[in-house]
């Protein structure tokens, strides 16, 4: 049977998701587990969002609106773009996958940084693309090297900003220079801004400005992170009209379910909640930095809701943390050994994490 499988699919390393809480409880017989492995928002969603989702459940016997009419218009209004410049999908991961389908034929090149979001690699591999992986420099995208890696065969360039798993950003001046150097080239730049709302650095660029300035930019955002809707699966993007049109032609017809559409529509009104979560995470991140510095563990300053920490043995760190009821993410599957990525949780969750970390310090430092 395996001989029938497309040869492009052989050797693709699978995505390793954060270990689910229930699985950890089952396997280790633990009653409480703190999951800091998937960069989720640890706080409850606002009541209005929950109520909207509950109301939508009563419509579950109907197919969703394939065009996500109201949601698309609400996103467009909020971001000051036209509704025919908005795409939505079953998570921004789905949009990444579909963009690959739209643009990449076997042999075309896809450029991205390493370590960065692993889905670029998997989705490019599925299309039989040549993967052009440009190493990060000091945990940051090396945009100069990425621009140099572009050839006539390059179709897509992914810029993950803030980057997962490092939490670092590309600054406005760097991005300006990058766009100046690729201007006029026949390729699409995908700005993956899944953690956009968490970034506080004044030099953090808004991908939308580049979308407006250049004709070949797609900006991806998501409801999974700061809006707290990871479990519902809904992401969105801003793209040139022609791309929106082809995306909508080839995507799954019902790419966003009834509940996700309703919850996202309600979530868009929750500006105060978004600011509150962003500030809370920022404050908690500072406390984590302080504790890590005291422990003498090197970490990377992050503009997102997670922190990358250098450890002696990431597998050991992961397993020992797990035994203490804390799920973190070893970054080996991102091609970054000797590091763990830890999501900023609630103050209580972060305390549990720091307590476990302290106990394990002799093994980790
Ligand atoms: C950089 C980045 N992009 C995209 C995603 C996918 O998000 P979703 O599919 O939940 O919208 C993630 C999730 O971890 C991410 O880290």
Q: Is the CB of 125 under 6 A from ligand 1?
A: no
Q: How far is the CA of 138 from the centre of ligand 1 (A)?
A: 22
pLDDT band at 298 (very low <50, low <70, confident <90, very high): very high
* 178-229 residue pLDDT tens: 999 999 999 999 999 999 999 999 999 999 999 999 999 999 999 999 999 9
At 1 the pLDDT is 86
At 270 the pLDDT is 98
What CATH number should be reported for the domain whose range is 47-267?
Answer: 3.40.640.10
* 270-286 residue pLDDT tens: 999 999 999 999 999 99
Q: What percent of the chain has pLDDT over 90?
A: 93
Atom of ligand 1 nearest to the CA of 195: 1
Instruction: Report the distance separating Cα 79 and Cα 288, nearest Å.
Output: 33
Q: Is the CB of 116 under 6 A from ligand 1?
A: no
Q: What is the mean pLDDT of residues 150-176?
A: 98
* 93-117 residue pLDDT tens: 999 999 999 999 999 999 999 999 9
Q: What is the mean pLDDT of residues 146-150?
A: 98
Where do the structural domains in the chain lie, given as residue ranges? 2-32+271-364, 47-267
For ligand 1, mutation pick of 40, 194, 218, 231 (most atoms within 8 Å of CB): 194
Mean pLDDT rounded to a whole number for the chain: 97
Q: How far is the CA of 41 from the centre of ligand 1 (A)?
A: 13
CATH of 2-32+271-364, one of 3.10.180.10, 3.40.605.10, 3.90.1150.10, 3.30.70.260: 3.90.1150.10
For residue 235, is pLDDT > 90?
yes
Q: How far is the CA of 12 from the centre of ligand 1 (A)?
A: 19
Atom of ligand 1 nearest to the CA of 225: 10
**More reliable by pLDDT, 283 or 31:** 283
Q: How far is the CA of 311 from the centre of ligand 1 (A)?
A: 25
For ligand 1, mutation pick of 18, 88, 89, 92 (most atoms within 8 Å of CB): 92
């Amino acid at each position: 049977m395996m001989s029938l499988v497309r040869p492009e699919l052989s050797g693709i390393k699978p995505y390793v998701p954060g270990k689910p809480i229930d699985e950890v409880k089952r396997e280790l017989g633990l009653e409480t587990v703190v999951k800091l492995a998937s960069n989720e928002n640890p706080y409850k969603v606002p009541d209005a969002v929950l109520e909207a989702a509950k109301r939508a459940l009563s419509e579950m016997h109907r197919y969703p609106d394939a065009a996500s009419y109201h949601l698309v218009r609400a996103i467009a209004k909020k971001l000051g773009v036209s509704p025919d410049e908005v795409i939505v999908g079953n998570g921004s991961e789905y949009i990444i996958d579909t963009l690959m389908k739209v643009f990449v034929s076997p042999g075309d090149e896809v450029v991205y940084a390493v370590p960065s979001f692993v889905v670029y690699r998997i989705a490019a591999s599925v299309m039989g693309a040549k993967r052009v992986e440009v190493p990060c420099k000091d945990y940051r995208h090396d945009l100069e090297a990425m621009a140099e890696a572009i050839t006539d065969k390059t179709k897509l360039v992914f810029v993950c900003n803030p980057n997962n798993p490092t939490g670092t950003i590309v600054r406005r001046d760097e991005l300006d220079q990058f766009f100046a150097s690729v201007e006029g080239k026949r390729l699409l730049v995908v700005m993956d801004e899944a953690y956009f709302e968490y970034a506080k650095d004044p030099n953090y660029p808004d991908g939308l400005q580049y979308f407006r300035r250049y004709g070949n930019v797609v900006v991806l955002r998501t409801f999974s992170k700061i809006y707290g809707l990871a479990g519902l699966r809904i992401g969105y993007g801003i793209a040139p009209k022609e791309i929106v049109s082809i995306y909508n032609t080839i995507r799954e017809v019902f790419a966003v379910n009834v509940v996700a559409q309703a919850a996202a529509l309600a979530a868009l009104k929750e500006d105060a909640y978004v600011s509150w979560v962003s500030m809370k995470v920022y404050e908690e991140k500072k406390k984590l930095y302080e504790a890590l510095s005291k422990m003498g563990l090197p970490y990377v300053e992050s503009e997102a809701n997670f922190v990358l920490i250098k450890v002696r043995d990431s597998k050991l760190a992961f397993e020992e943390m797990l035994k203490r009821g804390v799920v973190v993410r070893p970054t080996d599957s991102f091609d970054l050994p000797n590091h763990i990525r830890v999501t900023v949780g609630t103050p209580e969750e972060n305390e549990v994490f720091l307590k476990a970390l302290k106990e394990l310090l002799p093994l980790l430092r």
